[in-house]
Amino acid sequence: MSLLEIKNLKKYFATQKAVDDISFSLEKGSIFGLLGPNGAGKTTLIRMITGIFYPDEGDILLDGKKFDPINDVGQIGYMPEERGLYKKMKIGEQAVYLAQLKGLSKNEAIEKVKQWFIKFEMQSWWNKKIEDLSKGMSQKLQFVITVLHEPKLIILDEPFSGLDPVNANLIKDEIYGLAQRGSTIIFSTHRMEQVEEICDHIVLVNLGKKILDGTVQKIKQDFKENKFSIQTTEVPANISSSAFEVINQKANKLVVKIKEGHKSNDVLNYFLQQQMNIEAFNEILPSLNDIFIWEVEGTKSTTRAFQPVA
Amino acid sequence: MGKIGLIIKREYLTRVRNKTFILTTILTPLLFVVFIAGSIYLSVKGKEDLKVAVIDNNGYFKNNLKNTANVIFEFPAGIDTSNYLDKGYTAILILPKFENTEKAQYIVRSKKSIGLGTKESIESKINAAIEDNMLEQAGVRRNELDSIHTKSQFAELKSLQEHGNKAEENNQTLAYGVGYASGILIYITMLIYGMMVLRGVMEEKTNRIAEVIVSSVKPFELMMGKIIGIGAVGLTQFFMWIVLIIVLSTTAQYFIPHDTLQQVQALQQNGGVMPGGGMMQASESAQKIYGVQHVLGTANWPLIVGCFIFYFLTGYLFYAALFAAIGSVVEDVQSSQSLTLPVTMPIIFSFLIMSVVIYSPDTPLAIWSSLIPFTSPTVMMARIAYGVPGTVPYWQLITSMLLMIAGFLFTTWLAAKIYRTGILMYGKKITWKEMGKWAFKKS
């Protein structure tokens, strides 16, 4: 069953179609990557899902019911890209306050904040102020505040920026944990290696439209170029085969591209017939980074122009 | 407690717990006293002291030109415009021979320019001397003239105001003082608390916490929570000032000797006259205390305090909403300054009008500016001190109050629409035109 379903969502601003007819759905407990270049409409999309903006057209279904921004806020945890906390407020009080705004009672909030602070070894922070924290520390705090009220849907915009590898791993483990306990996570980022590592499912938006939608594996399969790498003990002087061509060679490691109508076994057959000892053979799938660049480049979206909305 | 309650509580507590709040609450009344005492001292002492050398071509003025508190006339021999400064005079006055038929030109010369007040007092002294001269020529004897001068200084105007069937004493000096003080207080608090709202909204926007909070509550709740919370801080401050005044004046009573206090009570019971047909004389200090208490008693304090709280609250709400709207569209202090100017201008303007109205609370300017919400909190407070319904008829007070309520509802509605869009808008300089578009577009 899908936790969040977005149907034909549209939001036009005076000079831009920020979100132009986007639909997708998220499985419960999945980690979902929302990708796109700067200005693609990700933030606007997220703001509609969090109830900050009302869509011009289209529907958002949360847990099968129409999303109600006023009563459903407690089900959503949102960590915006630009972090924000009150600088002069004590950290413990601030966390309790923000949890209360999400609908927790005071005692519940205090209880939860304490639990999380112990988990992240932040107990000594309670009476400190935000201005005393480093960027990474306030990042951790912001994450705690986002997930504190155990929302069904957690939206994280660039959650790892500014974190050292140890703390990034801590948060990453926490994200996996939350997903296992049934939370659904939307993860918005430009860092493709993180998406490949963490996400089950991705959507790529560009110029306000959805251009890719699927699991990471499926998308990679869709974009594969039939490239294989093969490593042999010796390399024959002349390689010529109707089945493939060599596009790169480094010492005894070759990158080959299989021609239309041939299979990977044809490559192996060729080398076997040549009496070569094969040490390694595997398919090269494009990285998400490459796919992202292929899809976005050429649309000139990096300098998205303002155009009047017809 | 609803979410808006949480926001109000946070806004209120973070400010009230602040050390600066406690300090300003205690120090402001002290500063006020110092300021008032200082300005009284300066207005008494600060006048220029002039030593004027007089060249008298009539020989008459020497005995008749009377010195004032800060102008001394002297009649040295051999003085002229070239040497009066060297001989230690600050000015020289040249009096030509009387020409009874036409107005004579009198000239005063000095190095520094002479203030208007001083010029007028010199003029009136010359006129008095000429008047005396003419009376003497008409046959009034010198000693008669002097005794008339001393005897004729007894007029003391006591003004009474129709109040139903009886006339009640009213006191312009008190009305002036109370009106001016409450006008200034409203002016200052509207500015200070308005700017506090502006800074608070700007902080939330530039800190980006607005986005976190707006995903939990409606922007309107966030804005109103802030405005109400800060307004409550203002009320707390007033309340503490009132308590402070009561505590101080009660403590002060313990320093008054017991018999003086009894005399004051006796005076109060008998309307200012000691009982026993003048057999007992009240001491001077008892009479002074009674005088102050009596004067303070002529003001309608519940009405003044009630109106003060009403106009503080509505005036604050009126302007705080505008300040919140401005705060939501700016990201740095510099650009906020050019946008806040049109909001602070009417507040400053209302203070200027108030300082005119305090002298003449019945002019059309006074009436109109105490009805229009932009200026009415400050101006109306200045007028109310002169009496309701005497100076301010009930219809004016009620109209002003209703307009004030309508005014703040309107600015709040307007601000909410600008705020909702502005608080999440970054990296763009917003113009008045755009704000207007947000405010009036249909949602």
> What ipTM was predicted for this assembly?
0.78
Q: Is B5 on the interface with A (CB under 8 A)?
A: no
Task: State how far the alpha carbon of A227 is from the alpha carbons of A223, A258, B257, in Å.
Answer: 11, 6, 107
β-bridge pairing B107-110 and A31-35? unpaired
In this complex, the residue of B204, B208, B215 whose CB is nearest that of residue A50 is B215
Taking CB atoms and an 8 Å cutoff, what residues of chain A touch B11? Answer: none
CATH class of the structural domain B50-134: alpha beta
> What DSSP line would sit under B124-140, residue for residue?
HHHHHHHHHHHHHHTT-
> Cβ B213–A78 below 8 Å, yes or no?
no
For residue A265, what pLDDT is reported? 85
Residue numbers in chain B where pLDDT is lower than 50: none
Taking CB atoms and an 8 Å cutoff, what residues of chain B touch A82? Answer: 208, 211, 426
Q: Is B428 on the interface with A (CB under 8 A)?
A: no
Q: Is A305 on the interface with B (CB under 8 A)?
A: no
Q: Is B16 on the interface with A (CB under 8 A)?
A: no
> Which of A82, A108, A130, A155 best tests the B interface by mutation, with the highest count of B CBs <10 A?
A82
> Cβ B6–A101 below 8 Å, yes or no?
yes
Strands (E) across chain A are located at 2-12, 17-27, 31-35, 57-62, 65-66, 76-79, 153-157, 184-188, 201-206, 209-215, 227-232, 244-250, 253-258, 278-284
B contact residues 199-218, partner A, Cβ 8 Å cutoff: 203-204, 207-218
**Weakest mean pLDDT among A213-217, A300-304, B240-244, B435-439:** A300-304
Pick the residue from chain A with its C-alpha nearest to B211.
Answer: A80
Q: Is A210 on the interface with B (CB under 8 A)?
A: no
For the domain made up of A225-284, give the CATH fold.
Alpha-Beta Plaits (3.30.70)
Lateral strand order in the sheet of B107-110 = B71-74, B50-56, B91-95, B107-110
Q: Is B62 on the interface with A (CB under 8 A)?
A: no
In this complex, the residue of A78, A85, A88 whose CB is nearest that of residue B215 is A78
Half-sphere exposure of B381 (CA within 13 A, CB side): 30
For A124-171, how does the pLDDT look when each residue is reduced to its tens digit (9 = 90+)? 888 888 888 888 888 888 899 999 888 889 999 888 887 888 888 888
Structure tokens at A117: 């602070």
For chain B, how many residues are written?
443
For residue B97, what pLDDT is reported? 75
Non-local (6+) Cβ contacts of A296 within 8 A are A36, A37, A204, A206, A302
For residue B99, what pLDDT is reported? 66
For residue A298, what pLDDT is reported? 65
Distance CA B319, CA B342 (A): 11
What is the sign of the dihedral through the CA atoms of B297, B299, B300 and B302? negative
For residue B59, what pLDDT is reported? 73
Q: Is B6 on the interface with A (CB under 8 A)?
A: yes
For residue B413, what pLDDT is reported? 92
Q: What's the average model confidence in pLDDT over A245-272?
A: 83
CATH number of A2-221: 3.40.50.300
Distance CA A154, CA A34 (A): 13
Structure tokens at B104: 């004579």
Q: Is B2 on the interface with A (CB under 8 A)?
A: no
Q: Is A80 on the interface with B (CB under 8 A)?
A: yes
* Choice between B409 and A220, residue whose per-residue pLDDT is larger: B409
Domain boundaries defined on chain A: 2-221, 225-284
For residue A308, what pLDDT is reported? 56
**Which helix H or strand E contains B53, and what residues bound it?**
strand B50-56
Non-local (6+) Cβ contacts of B98 within 8 A are B58, B104, B130, B133
Q: What's the average model confidence in pLDDT over A295-305?
A: 62
Q: Where in chain B is the domain with CATH 3.40.190.10?
A: 50-134
Distance CA B122, CA B108 (A): 9
Residue listed under structure tokens 């499926």:
A218
For residue B224, what pLDDT is reported? 93
Q: Is B14 on the interface with A (CB under 8 A)?
A: yes
In this complex, the residue of A73, A80, A87 whose CB is nearest that of residue B211 is A80
Distance CA B349, CA B345 (A): 6
β-bridge pairing A153-157 and A76-79? parallel
State the DSSP code for A129: B
A249: helix, strand or coil: strand
Pick the residue from chain B with its C-alpha nearest to A75.
Answer: B216
Distance CA B132, CA B98 (A): 13
Q: Are A19 and A13 in contact (CB under 8 A)?
A: no
Distance CA B214, CA B204 (A): 11
Distance CA A114, CA A92 (A): 9
Beta bridge partners of residue B54, listed in sequence order:
B93
Q: Is B436 on the interface with A (CB under 8 A)?
A: no
> Cβ A100–B6 below 8 Å, yes or no?
yes
Pick the residue from chain A with its C-alpha nearest to B14.
Answer: A89
Taking CB atoms and an 8 Å cutoff, what residues of chain A touch B13? Answer: none
For residue A155, what pLDDT is reported? 92
For residue B431, what pLDDT is reported? 79
Residue B290's CB is within 10 A of a number of other CB atoms, namely 19
**Which helix H or strand E contains B233, and what residues bound it?**
helix B219-254
**Weakest mean pLDDT among A29-43, A57-71, A206-220, B289-303:** B289-303
> Cβ B6–A84 below 8 Å, yes or no?
no
Distance CA B142, CA A34 (A): 106
Q: Is A247 on the interface with B (CB under 8 A)?
A: no
Q: What's the average model confidence in pLDDT over A285-298?
A: 82
Non-local (6+) Cβ contacts of A36 within 8 A are A42, A204, A205, A206, A296
Q: What's the average model confidence in pLDDT over A1-16?
A: 83
